[in-house]
Amino acid sequence: MSGPIETTDVLVIGSGPGGAIPAYRLAAAGAKVVILERGPWLETREFTHDLRIDTYTRIIDYITGNGVSVVAGNCVGGSSVVYFAGALRAPTFVFDRRDTAGDRIWPKDVTRSALDPWYDLVEETLPVAQQTWDDVPYPGGVWAAACHNAGHTCNPVPVAVDLAECTNCNWMLNGCRFGAKRSMLLNYLPAAVAHGAEIRPLHEVQSISRALTTGYRYAVDYMTVDEGDYRVSDGGGRIEAKIVVVAAGAMATPVLLQRSSPFLGNLPSAVGRYFSPNGDRVSMALMDERKVHSVLGLERKPGVAYDAFPIGKPIGSMTYDFLDGARRAGERYGLQQIYFPTITNILPEATPGGDWFGPAKKHLTDRWRSWLTILAMCEDGNEGTFGSPPPTGAFIRADSAAAVTTLSYQPTNATLRAWASSDAAVKKIIEKDGVGEHLGWTATRNYLSAHPLSSCRIGDDAATSACEPSHQLRGHPGLYVTDGSSVPTSLCVNPSLTIAALAERASRSIVKQAGALGVRVNTGQTPPPGSGSLRRPR
Ligand SMILES: Cc1cc2nc3c(=O)[nH]c(=O)nc-3n(C[C@H](O)[C@H](O)[C@H](O)COP(=O)(O)OP(=O)(O)OC[C@H]3O[C@@H](n4cnc5c(N)ncnc54)[C@H](O)[C@@H]3O)c2cc1C
């Protein structure tokens, strides 16, 4: 590498919740912060309402592994830009989960009550709003009515959405062009930039090694990627930093660290192991419209486009009845109404065993206006393991938005039983009084998740956790992991609020450690980030 090497106090890899939060806290405390982000930088008005390839596929990756497929964001703001904004705290029992040896999985200091102040902070900052039944779309009402009919409670889900600004367009997957979804683009990232942080899009970090410049600890090598084809690199460089925060998401962070292992040495054995898809289990109900009317007392308003099915927010209602710590492990899950875009209409099975084609499938897709999709978030066994890293990046890109990972996921019998239990619970609710028919979502061999976690997790036990409870990578002072990969287990709810709360907690400890790591910062509390709008430099 020729010329002087660029330096910074803090280098943050990835700009989702796990990266944006430490970037803001450290910049606000006075550190010089650079954020390298693999994906492009889009502003609110640039998000499209279009399913054409090359529109939303620019900012989403569909990553196929052996046994699991994952959807994740690829842009400034990370998956918070494309997510459905369901914002829930994980229940108490999650933090108390034990492994098969009977040992606590989460660090003893990270309990629900210990995390509550950090949840408070994130909820105020995003901010999170509690939907009322008036905010919940029709499918959310159908799920709630079916739950009540089967003797269960069901509630509107809190969302990180400005409800007054939301147009209920149901295009959240494409990024919100109304600035209503409270992604990182509207809070932590603009606040970080206001405190001098610099965001560099289309910069994919490849490896971390030891710095050569005195006073700096790590050297981060990146490739710049072509905006039109992410498989093409048009340059690269190196930045040395005193502190590195790895927040490339649970599908990329372990791969980046594995590739860095020959340079860093002494990589904890838990890096790239214990991956969890958050126990995600999607299934579907085909509703009988006559029974929905006669039994549940609901009616679609005539004349509403698409019979009102795809209008609204993707996540409306959820029953918390099965999130009861007194229930047996494996029988605790959140059951949530969720909307999947029409592009996924091929996935539900028309006949037991799954069927891609044929009259039954055609008949099923004909009735898609009467579909109700349910997401169960269960307790899984952290069964995923990453193989050797590919030559560059986190996975092999076949095309924009289509990629293959080395991740292998083979659920244990305990996880399969948990899914069977959640399936049975959904079926009982849906099929009570014949209001609907419960169908699997198994037309692909792989399990599906939008909630990758745990591939570089925190914990007290060095054998089963890559990071200390402070989020520092074991044996590597100044190198922190603050994204979804640091979350120890599946959460039984959507994970982003917990990832953000943990990132706030970790940021506090990184700011406190910064002096010892050679970065001069103000260790007092930094102000709340407030609201802003992230503008790309021209
Ligand atoms: C379609 C969808 C819907 C979702 N809905 C919800 C929901 O309703 N509620 C909820 O709680 N959660 C939801 N999630 C999940 C939630 O968005 C994620 O859990 C959360 O954003 C993860 O935060 P993170 O910081 O770990 O990773 P991410 O937000 O994924 O950020 C990681 C960032 O790192 C970048 N990156 C990767 N590799 C590199 C590299 N080598 N160099 C530089 N940058 C890199 C990526 O491009 C990405 O921007 C959803 C996710 C998806 C995809």
How high is the pLDDT of residue 53? Answer: 78
How high is the pLDDT of residue 343? Answer: 65
How high is the pLDDT of residue 255? Answer: 98
Task: Report which ligand 1 atom has the smallest distance to the Cα of 338.
Answer: 8
How high is the pLDDT of residue 476? Answer: 98
How close is the Cα of 80 to the center of ligand 1, in Å? 6
Closest residue (by CA) to atom 16 of ligand 1? 496
Q: Is there a contact between 506 and 10 (Cβ–Cβ < 8 Å)?
A: no
Closest residue (by CA) to atom 18 of ligand 1? 496
How high is the pLDDT of residue 357? Answer: 73
Mean pLDDT by 10 residues, the chain (538 residues): 82 98 98 98 93 86 95 97 98 96 96 98 98 93 97 98 94 95 98 97 98 97 96 96 98 98 97 98 92 92 57 93 97 95 70 72 83 95 98 91 94 97 98 95 84 98 98 98 98 98 98 97 90 87
Q: Is there a contact between 76 and 42 (Cβ–Cβ < 8 Å)?
A: yes
pTM of the complete model beyond 0.95? yes
∠ CA 461-87-187, rounded to 5°: 95
Residue type, 231: R
Q: Is there a contact between 519 and 242 (Cβ–Cβ < 8 Å)?
A: yes
Dihedral sign from CA coordinates of 74, 78, 79, 83: negative
Dihedral sign from CA coordinates of 158, 119, 280, 347: positive
How close is the Cα of 430 to the center of ligand 1, in Å? 31
Rounded distance, CA 456 to CA 257, Å?
9
Contacts of 106 (CB under 8 A, 6+ apart): 94, 95, 96, 97, 458, 459, 488, 489
How close is the Cα of 309 to the center of ligand 1, in Å? 27
How close is the Cα of 394 to the center of ligand 1, in Å? 14
Q: In a mutational test of the pocket of ligand 1, which residue from 13, 83, 123, 373 has the highest number of ligand atoms less than 8 Å from its CB?
A: 83
Among residues 389, 440, 382, 367, the alpha carbon closest in space to that of 415 is found at 382
How high is the pLDDT of residue 307? Answer: 57
How close is the Cα of 83 to the center of ligand 1, in Å? 8
Span between the terminal Cα atoms of the chain, in Å: 28
Closest residue (by CA) to atom 36 of ligand 1? 248
| Maximum Cα–Cα distance across the chain | 75
How high is the pLDDT of residue 362? Answer: 82
Q: Is there a contact between 495 and 276 (Cβ–Cβ < 8 Å)?
A: no
With a Cβ cut-off of 6 Å, ligand 1 is lined by: 13-19, 36-39, 71-75, 78-80, 82-86, 173, 204-205, 247-250, 252, 256, 315, 394, 450-451, 483-484, 494-497, 499
Closest residue (by CA) to atom 12 of ligand 1? 496
Domain boundaries defined on the chain: 6-514
Task: Report which ligand 1 atom has the smallest distance to the Cα of 61.
Answer: 53
| Fold assignment, 6-514 | FAD/NAD(P)-binding domain (3.50.50)
